[in-house]
Structure formats: structure tokens, C-alpha cells
């Protein structure tokens, strides 16, 4: 839903930037007054139907992003608290000789704890993005032309907040892109290792185990920070996860495996299932990595474009602008640089949701065709 609204919002913004349908009712403020009435004070009475439509999608983003940011912080911190509680119990238990399954579970707990911290930080960034959309909504109704909620300076501050929040998010897009490509290579290497019959139980860590099974433990899910915990139920779930990992390892590496015996056949079947999963993940992860880089390009161009608005606001006198400011504007005048930057951002954030909505179908197409494989076999 968020991607659909983003597509509509920025497509409408592009129409406004380019003056598409100029001369129609969409650009006629009198049409807005016709439906709403004449009670709108100046300068809100200048709002066109197109701007009113944009404001609805901006207000949706305000509510959605603010709620998502708070929710992500709450569930991530709750998840971290639960993981810490589980780890403390496991470390204080009488068990000293960890099995391979226990070590995999422990690795998963520490990995998810890191992800929880990162998710909480992302929520901390998303929340102010949502709040900033409040001033963009007000700007669509020309409220920022008054001093009611801080005027134009408040809008500029909101844009600066958005720019600052985008910087770490851009960094995470690059990190995620390289991580996806690295995981794709690791899956390919693991597939070759299984084919060669050289994989041993001790070589299976959390990353390999997850790739071979698609395992998602219960502590992967977020938990609201204020939600009461049932520690007895939690302990039972942890024991069940350890048991599940042990069964998977035993299926691949039975204690007694002789050629042609039942255990040997079950082991080969288990490895075939793991190979099938790995084979589908290799192209999928590669495509997801490239997609992250594509998101980075879209958002970096948007970041750069929207940055020009605050830049020309603070350096409004073109005669005394520093050289670096002129360079950032590509030596265009303030008015054109502001318009072009805003349009570039709107265009990038129009294309991005198209990629978001279409990428699952493209990624699905990269997976190996099972019917062809069965025919080949």
C-alpha cells in the first residue's frame, strides 16, 4: 500500500512540476473552492485540486511513516530484550558442552540481536521522515506562506531533517547490496561443496544452515517493547528450535550411513532439497543485491535534488554564492536549480515504487524452472 501511495504521490508531483494538464480544472483553485466552499482563508484558497490530491498522499505518508518508525523502534527493542533474556538463560544453564545445533542457535541469537539494533536505528530515522511530511502537506495548502506553523523556515527545516535521515539509509542500501551479492556467492560455493561431498557438520554455521533450510526461528519476529513475556513458553520454544536444528543436522549427517541403507537415502534426499533451495537462492540474492544498488541510485538522486531547495534558500543571493554552492547547482540560477532538483527527486521517487512493485515478478522469473529440471532428469 505504501508503495502504491508513493507512486501516486510523486506522479502527481511530477504532473505539477511539468504543468501536465495545465489549463484544466486540476490547476484551477476555483474548483477546490467549489467543492470545499469559500471558508478557506488566504492563502489556502489558492490550493488547486491537484495540490489537494497531493496533500492527501503526503498526509498518508506522514501518518504511515511516523507509525512505522515508532512501531519498528518498539518491536526491535522488544526483540532485542527477548534475545538478551534467552542468551542470559542459555549462558547461565548447566550446559557447558554445546552441541553443533546449540552453537547454530547461539549464532542465530547474536545475529538477530545485531539486526534488532539496526532495525531500531532505522525506525529512529523513519519516524522524523514521517513528521517532516506534515510540513509538506501544509505546503501543498500554501500554509507555509504564513507564519502559522513556522512558515517557510519550518518547511526548510523539515526538508533538512529528511535529508539528514536519508544519509544513513543510503549507506544501508549500499551495505545491503554488497551483502546480498556476497550471500549469493556463498550459496554458490556451498552448492559446489555439497556436490563435491566435502561438507562436514562442523562447517555448517548459521549462514549456511539458514541458506540450506530457510530456517526462521521464533526470535526473528519483533515483539512490542511493552508486551509481557511468558518465559516458560519461551523456554519451550527455544528447546523446540534446538531440536529442529538437531533433526536437520542428523538428517544430513546420520551417525551410521552406509551406501544403500535407509539413512543414506534419507541423507541424499535431504541434501537434494537443500541444493534445490540453494540453486534458487543464488540468482534471487544476486537480483536483490542489484535492486538495492538501484534503490541507492534513485534515492541518491532524490537526496541530491531535494538538497538544492534548502541550499538556494540559505544562499539566495547569487552574486555572493561560494563556488561550491554554484558547483552543486551545476551553475544554474537559483530558480531553475530549485525546480530541477525538486523534479529530479519527484521523478526518482516515482520510478522507485514501480521497481518495488515489479521486482518480485522479475525475481521470480530468475528462479530455475522446476518443470524443465524434472524433464531433464
Phi, psi of 225 (to 5 degrees): -60, -30
User: Taking 90 as the threshold, does the pLDDT of residue 319 lie above it?
Assistant: no
* Residues 9 and 58: beta-carbon distance below 8 Å: yes
pLDDT at res. 106: 92
Q: What is the pLDDT, as a whole number, of residue 185?
A: 94
Name the DSSP class of 41.
P
Question: Is pLDDT above 60 for 142?
Answer: yes
Band of residue 260 on the pLDDT scale cut at 50, 70, 90:
low
Instruction: Give the pLDDT of residue 377.
Output: 46
Q: Does residue 124 register a pLDDT over 80?
A: yes
Rounded CA-CA distance 117/364 in Å is: 31
Spatial CA neighbour of 369 closest among 246, 302, 280, 244: 280
Residue 196, exposed/middle/buried by CB under 10 A (0-12, 13-18, 19+)?
exposed
Residue 368's pLDDT is what? 61
Cα–Cα distance measured from residue 253 to residue 255, given in angstroms and rounded to the nearest whole number: 6
Q: Tell me what pLDDT residue 8 has.
A: 93
- C-alpha to C-alpha distance for 129 and 69, rounded to whole angstroms: 9
Torsion, CA 58, CA 59, CA 60, CA 62, rounded to 10: 90
pTM: 0.88
The DSSP secondary-structure symbol of 40 reads P
Confidence band for 229, pLDDT divided at 50, 70 and 90: confident
- Return the pLDDT at 376: 45
**pLDDT: which is higher, 260 or 35:** 35
The least confident of 39-48, 58-67, 180-189, 250-259 is 250-259
Question: What's the pLDDT tens digit per position in 320-374?
Answer: 889 998 899 898 899 999 999 999 999 999 999 999 998 888 777 766 655 444 4
Question: Residue 308's closest CA among 292, 321, 294?
Answer: 321
pLDDT at 79 over 90: yes
What is the pLDDT at residue 69? 95
Model confidence pLDDT, tens digit, residues 169-185: 999 999 999 999 999 99
221: left (phi over 0), alpha (psi -120 to 50) or beta: beta
H helices then E strands: how many in the chain?
11, 0
**Residue 52's pLDDT is what?**
92
C-alpha cell at 94: 548447566
Is the pLDDT reported for residue 63 higher than 50?
Answer: yes
Cα distance between residue 322 and residue 327, in whole Å: 9
Q: Which residue has the cell 545491503?
A: 176
Between the two ends of the chain, the Cα-to-Cα distance in Å is 42
C-alpha closest to that of 277 among 326, 210, 359, 341:
210
C-alpha span between 131 and 206 (Å, rounded): 38
Q: How many CB atoms lie within 10 A of CB 217?
A: 21
Mean pLDDT of the chain: 89
> Which whole number is the average pLDDT over 276-305?
93
**Rounded Cα–Cα distance for residues 342 and 328 (Å):** 14
Task: Give the least confident one: 116-130, 140-154, 335-349, 356-370.
Answer: 356-370
pLDDT at residue 252 is higher than 90: no
Is there a contact between 216 and 73 (Cβ–Cβ < 8 Å)? no
Q: Are 133 and 161 in contact, with CB atoms under 8 Å apart? A: no
Instruction: Give the pLDDT confidence score for residue 370 in this predicted structure.
Output: 54
| Residue corresponding to grid cell 502504491 | 4
For 209, left (φ over 0), alpha (ψ -120 to 50), or beta? alpha
C-alpha 286/C-alpha 25 separation (Å) is 47
Amino acid at each position: 500500500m505504501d508503495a502504491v501511495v508513493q507512486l501516486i504521490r510523486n506522479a502527481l508531483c511530477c504532473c505539477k512540476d511539468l504543468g501536465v494538464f495545465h489549463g484544466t480544472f486540476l490547476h484551477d483553485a476555483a474548483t477546490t473552492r467549489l467543492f470545499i466552499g469559500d471558508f478557506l482563508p488566504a492563502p489556502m484558497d489558492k490550493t488547486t485540486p491537484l495540490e489537494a490530491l497531493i496533500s492527501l498522499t503526503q498526509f498518508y505518508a506522514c501518518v504511515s511513516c511516523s507509525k512505522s518508525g515508532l512501531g519498528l523502534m518498539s518491536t526491535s527493542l522488544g526483540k532485542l530484550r527477548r534475545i538478551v533474556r534467552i542468551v542470559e538463560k542459555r549462558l547461565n544453564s548447566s550446559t557447558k558442552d554445546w552441541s553443533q545445533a546449540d552453537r547454530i542457535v547461539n549464532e542465530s541469537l547474536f545475529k538477530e540481536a545485531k539486526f534488532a539494533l539496526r532495525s531500531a536505528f532505522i525506525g529512529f530515522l523513519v519516524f522524523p521522515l514521517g513528521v517532516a511530511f506534515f510540513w509538506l502537506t501544509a505546503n501543498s495548502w500554501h500554509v507555509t506562506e504564513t507564519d502559522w506553523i513556522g512558515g517557510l523556515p519550518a518547511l526548510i527545516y523539515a526538508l533538512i531533517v529528511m535529508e539528514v535521515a536519508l544519509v544513513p539509509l543510503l549507506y544501508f542500501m549500499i551495505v545491503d547490496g554488497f551483502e546480498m551479492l556476497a550471500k549469493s556467492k556463498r550459496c554458490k560455493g556451498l552448492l559446489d561443496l555439497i556436490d563435491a561431498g566435502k561438507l562436514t557438520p562442523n562447517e555448517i554455521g548459521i549462514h549456511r544452515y539458514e541458506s540450506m533450510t530457510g530456517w526462521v526461528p521464533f526470535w526473528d519476529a519483533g515483539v512490542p517493547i511493552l508486551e509481557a513475556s511468558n518465559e516458560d513458553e519461551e523456554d519451550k520454544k527455544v528447546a523446540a528450535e534446538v531440536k529442529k536444528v538437531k533433526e536437520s543436522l542428523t538428517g544430513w549427517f546420520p551417525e551410521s550411513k552406509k551406501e544403500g541403507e535407509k539413512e543414506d537415502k534419507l541423507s541424499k534426499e535431504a541434501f537434494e532439497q537443500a541444493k534445490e533451495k540453494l540453486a534458487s537462492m543464488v540468482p534471487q540474492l544476486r537480483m536483490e543485491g542489484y535492486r538495492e544498488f538501484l534503490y541507492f541510485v534513485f534515492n541518491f538522486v532524490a537526496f541530491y535534488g531535494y538538497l538544492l531547495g534548502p541550499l538556494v534558500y540559505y544562499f539566495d543571493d547569487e552574486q555572493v554564492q561560494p563556488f561550491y554552492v554554484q558547483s552543486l547547482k551545476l551553475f544554474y540560477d537559483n530558480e531553475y536549480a530549485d525546480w530541477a532538483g525538486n523534479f529530479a527527486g519527484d521523478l526518482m521517487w516515482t520510478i522507485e515504487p514501480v521497481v518495488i512493485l515489479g521486482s518480485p515478478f522479475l525475481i521470480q522469473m530468475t528462479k530455475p524452472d522446476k518443470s524443465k529440471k524434472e524433464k531433464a532428469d
